[in-house]
Amino acid sequence: MPDALPDAAAADTVSGTAPAPAPAPSPSGFRGVFALGGPALPVFAFLARLPAALCPIGTLLLINQRDGIGDAGAVAAALWLGQALGGPVIGRLADRRGHRPVLLTACLANATVLVALVACVLAGLPLTARIATAVAAGLTVPQVGPLARARWSRLARNDKTLLDSALSFDTTLDEVGFMVGPALAGILAMTVHPASALVLAAVVILVFGTLFAVHPTAPGPLAPANATDTTRTRARLWSPSLVLLFAMALLQGAAWSGANTGVNALAESLDEPGTAGLVWAAMAVTSSVAGFVTVARPGAADLTVRLRWTIGVQAALSLPLLAVSGTVGAAFAVAGIGLAVAPHLIALFGLVERTGPADRMGEAMTVVGSGLILGQALAAAVAGPLASAYGYRAAFVVSVAAAAGSAALALAAARPALFRRGPG
């Protein structure tokens, strides 16, 4: 028996048939991600999600200039609420009907409603009309980020290492977008017109959202279980693991919103309101860098371990916020927090992919994404009045408490056995 393999090899040589070469390992990291979806997909996915970062700050800037921060906050909150409610619906429809028709419809509707929102504001329509239009704008947001993650999940499911790289890269694109979007909105408001950010968002979502929708990687509609069955028994979406991830996303959004509110209140108290955006951008910069490092060198730790470590580190890095007394100190504090944000979100959405039903992945991703948005809206409603009544540190307390709550939840409940893919 020991001579069997050499004899077989010799037989191949005699017959002129060379042994089959070992398969080359698939590329990983950035090369693997670009090879997986093609170079155009990440570009379209990034630009198509940029309006989600442009719209909230663009809405605030436009309405604040004309009607004050009270009306601006109400309309921006309505936009957030609409997005949180509409996201899972669009995700479900995309899973059932295919990405292409759902995204094309949403992109056209969202661009139209954004133009209508600008028209409502410039025409001086009542606050109720502006709020209703903002809710419609939120409801029609095409959910490019979550659906892009669902698309990467579908493309790379058979290669765990490549899937981790793809999801890490895509989550980092979100961080870069939320660094570029607010800065671009501020520059446009100062140099062109306060409405220009929303107009640009409408154009970008119409053009690049359409390109993302028609890209060849777009999944088609869910096939029926068999040729005679027009319906398919769908796997249950909600599970203990998804509830936990949604709760952590909610607290993550609250941590962001409390810190953001505190930064704005601090800048206002120092008579330097224009510096708030620059201070907040420090978090996006460090988070983006940490995200790209994670793509290049993902490490071998299990996602559950990474989730617990990263949210624990983020909670610890949030504590310096309580000692901040100036914008420079605030910039260093939020930059420190940013080092853990992208790695935490990468682990969070990686676990969504691991546990969500395969045929409802778009919906699962949008549900957790809606948790982030809802957390921001709820914390803003709490942190804003607290900052007005007790000063900017009260808003930072909201942020620190949310981060600590998320860390405690992860340590208490996040166990590897909990995160198993649901049926389907």
- What integer pLDDT is reported at residue 4 of this predicted model? 45
Predicted confidence at residue 99, as pLDDT, reads 92
pLDDT at 64 over 80: no
Q: What is the pLDDT averaged over residues 164-193?
A: 80
**So what's the pLDDT on residue 8?**
44
Q: What is the pLDDT of residue 134?
A: 93
Say if residue 293's pLDDT is above 80: yes
**Of 26-35, 183-192, 257-266, where does the model show the most confidence?**
257-266
CATH of 236-424, picked from 1.20.1250.20, 1.10.630.10, 2.10.240.10, 3.20.20.70, is 1.20.1250.20
Average confidence (pLDDT) over 243-262? 90
DSSP 338-393: HHHHHHHHHHHHHHHHHHS-GGGHHHHHHHHHHHHHHHHHHHHHHHHHHHHHH-HH
Write the pLDDT tens digit of every residue in 29-42.
677 778 877 888 98
Can you tell me the mean pLDDT for 106-127?
94
Confidence of residue 300 (pLDDT cuts 50, 70, 90): low
CATH of the domain spanning 42-221: 1.20.1250.20
Comparing 101-105, 166-170, 214-218, 245-249, which segment has the lowest mean pLDDT?
A: 166-170
Q: What pLDDT is recorded for position 5?
A: 44
* CA–CA separation, 53 and 55 (whole Å): 6
Residue 296 has pLDDT above 80, yes or no: no
Q: What is the DSSP string of 143-204?
A: -HHHHHHHHHHHHHTT-HHHHHHHHHHHHHHHHHHHHHHHHHHHHHHHHT-TTHHHHHHHHH
The predicted structure's pLDDT at residue 288? 84
Residue 143, phi then psi, degrees to nearest 5: 60, 45
Highest averaged pLDDT of the listed ranges 3-12, 127-136, 289-298: 127-136
Chain mean pLDDT for the chain: 82
Of 287, 265, 271, which is closest to residue 178 (Cα–Cα)?
287
Residues of the chain with CATH 1.20.1250.20: 42-221, 236-424
Q: What percent of the chain has pLDDT over 90?
A: 30
Across 100-114, 263-277, 294-308, the highest mean pLDDT is recorded for: 100-114
Total-model pTM: 0.78
pLDDT tens readout for residues 364-392: 888 998 898 889 888 888 888 888 888 88
